[in-house]
Amino acid sequence: DQQVKQNSPSLSVQEGRISILNCDYTNSMFDYFLWYKKYPAEGPTFLISISSIKDKNEDGRFTVFLNKSAKHLSLHIVPSQPGDSAVYFCAARGFGNEKLTFGTGTRLTIIP
């Protein structure tokens, strides 16, 4: 049972435009959500996170939105740059639980 779902395996966006990556979850006990970015042959690196008590968190070009009623979160990248081309993983964890549940990832390609 996939508790964290990223239904778009890939996404292509023109440089300078907005990239929107989506993530859905089924477990209502999840209370913290993270996005990780992964380049080929490297480990994932933390990008941005959001607690369930918020609906938005912003860090430079990256903004994560959380819609708890829909069990949906999204990552917005504005403006998109070629260096943003990578695989993006959504992850979630439940209260008091150190384990992360990862989605299957979305490969973002920024077209120059």
Partner 1 sequence: NAGVTQTPKFRILKIGQSMTLQCAQDMNHNYMYWYRQDPGMGLKLIYYSVGAGITDKGEVPNGYNVSRSTTEDFPLRLELAAPSQTSVYFCASSYRDFNYEQYFGPGTRLTVT
DSSP conformation class of 21: E
Phi, psi of 82 (to 5 degrees): -55, -35
Considering only residues 45, 55, 81, 111, which one is a binding residue for partner 1 as defined by CB under 8 A?
Answer: 45
Q: How far apart are CB 80 and partner 1 at their closest, in Å?
A: 23
Q: Rounded to an integer, what is the distance from CA 80 to the centroid of its chain?
A: 15
Considering only residues 42, 69, 70, 83, which one is a binding residue for partner 1 as defined by CB under 8 A?
Answer: 42
Residue 104 sits in the site that holds partner 1 (CB under 8 A): yes
Q: Provide the total of helices (H) and of strands (E) in the chain, helices listed first.
A: 0, 11
Residues engaged in binding partner 1 (CB under 8 A):
4, 6, 9, 32, 34, 36, 41-46, 49, 89, 93, 96-105
